[in-house]
Amino acid sequence: MKLVKKVLLLSLVLAAAMVSCGGGGGGANAHAIVFKNTGNPYGERQMGGFENGIKEQGYTAILRAPDQPTAEAQIQMIEQLIAQKVASICIVGNDYDALQPVLTKAMDAGIKVYSLDSSVNPVSRATHVNQADTIAIGETLVEAAFDQAGGGGQIAILSATSQASNQNAWIAVMQETLKQPKYADLDLVKIAYGDDLRDKSTSETEALLLSYPNLKVIIAPTTVGIAAASKVITDKGLIGQVKVTGLGLPSEMAEYIDNGACPYMFLWNPIDVGYLGAYTATALTSGKITGAAGESFNAGRLGLYTITEAPDNGTEVLLGPPFKFEPSNINDWKDVY
């Protein structure tokens, strides 16, 4: 009887401990990812790839995303993950610098920390899993706008949040690229922020159209923004007059590539980005890599990857080149991701 009571008491204490640290497991077998915010199909696919990669190695995946795409909300989640003593944290940063204190705290607690998709500064990460070359993305999007605008005219950018480090890095390259003589007739009139929220991206697009009636191209380097902008152009009967390009999810964009609102766009496989993250996690926790340039590791079905220097003086693991989606191939991809 006494023993039964003791066991009962022990399980009550354990249950209370789990609730107080956020529940959902944790510990040395658990690898976590924290995306920017909920409600983004791109993020869901990225987390899905991460989960598969973690599970196929025999570990537990913890998937987290706050309601709003803010650093503050991610800080709270990371605090919980530190309390849960997870083995690694993969952060899709809502801010480049603001997460540094909490990520440093995690690293001091022995947790391996790396960023993916949207980087945090080099001090806050072991390495960064980058979906595609930052310079290639920026240059490719300017060339697309040049082509779709017929060589000149007003263009605008519809981004995610003003703090999103991946979008900001791509925009910085776009601004640099626009200085080249070839692009002298392209006039970047505005950078708008839809915060990766459908409604805000829609109203920001409407505001762009009101303020700049001669606008020729909207570049949206965010899957949420490009889909919202393409819908506005379609609904307002502006197909052909204002073109939309950028980074889009084929499943969300097929109808707009078919109807011409978006003549073509680019992306990579978000499932593979997450999957590569899962193998980066275990390469770090097993001690196979520390995150230094020159180190290599095996990423399951994706094969061998080598860590390289990143443009921000940290290091990165590069998934591969961006892929162009256009009328001739969009139907092959719309059911894949």
Which region, judged by CB under 6 A, interacts with ligand RAM, from 184-192, 216-224, 305-313, 319-327? 216-224
Are 166 and 173 spatial neighbours (Cβ–Cβ below 8 Å)? Answer: no
> Does the footprint of ligand RAM cover residue 224 (CB under 6 A)?
yes
Nearest residue (beta carbon) to ligand RAM: 42
Torsion, Cα of 183, 187, 192, 194 (10° steps): -50
| CA-closest candidate to residue 218, choices 269, 275, 265, 282 | 265
Residue 21, both tokens: 């640290």
Please, what is the minimum distance in Å from the beta carbon of residue 171 to ligand RAM?
12
Distance CA 91, CA 294 (A): 22
Distance CA 260, CA 233 (A): 10
| CA-closest candidate to residue 231, choices 222, 241, 244 | 244
Which region, judged by CB under 6 A, interacts with ligand RAM, from 52-60, 107-115, 141-149, 218-226? 218-226
Torsion, Cα of 279, 284, 285, 287 (10° steps): 120
Please, what is the minimum distance in Å from the beta carbon of residue 156 to ligand RAM?
17
> Does the footprint of ligand RAM cover residue 223 (CB under 6 A)?
yes
Please, what is the minimum distance in Å from the beta carbon of residue 36 to ligand RAM?
6
Strands 88-91 and 60-64: what pairing? unpaired
Are 112 and 87 spatial neighbours (Cβ–Cβ below 8 Å)? Answer: yes
> Does the footprint of ligand RAM cover residue 160 (CB under 6 A)?
yes
Q: Which is nearer to ligand RAM, 291 or 322 (CB)?
A: 322
Question: In 21-57, which ranges are continuous DSSP H helix?
Answer: 41-55
Q: Which is nearer to ligand RAM, 132 or 186 (CB)?
A: 132
List the one residue from 192, 247, 253, 262 that touches ligand RAM (CB under 6 A). 247
Torsions phi, psi of 22, nearest 5?
Answer: 95, -5
> Does the footprint of ligand RAM cover residue 133 (CB under 6 A)?
no
Q: Which is nearer to ligand RAM, 30 or 34 (CB)?
A: 34
Window 10 to 29, contacts with ligand RAM (CB under 6 A): none
Q: Which is nearer to ligand RAM, 36 or 216 (CB)?
A: 36
> Does the footprint of ligand RAM cover residue 60 (CB under 6 A)?
no
List the one residue from 44, 196, 252, 295 that touches ligand RAM (CB under 6 A). 196
Residues that bind ligand RAM (CB under 6 A): 36, 40, 42, 117-118, 160, 164, 166, 196, 222-224, 247
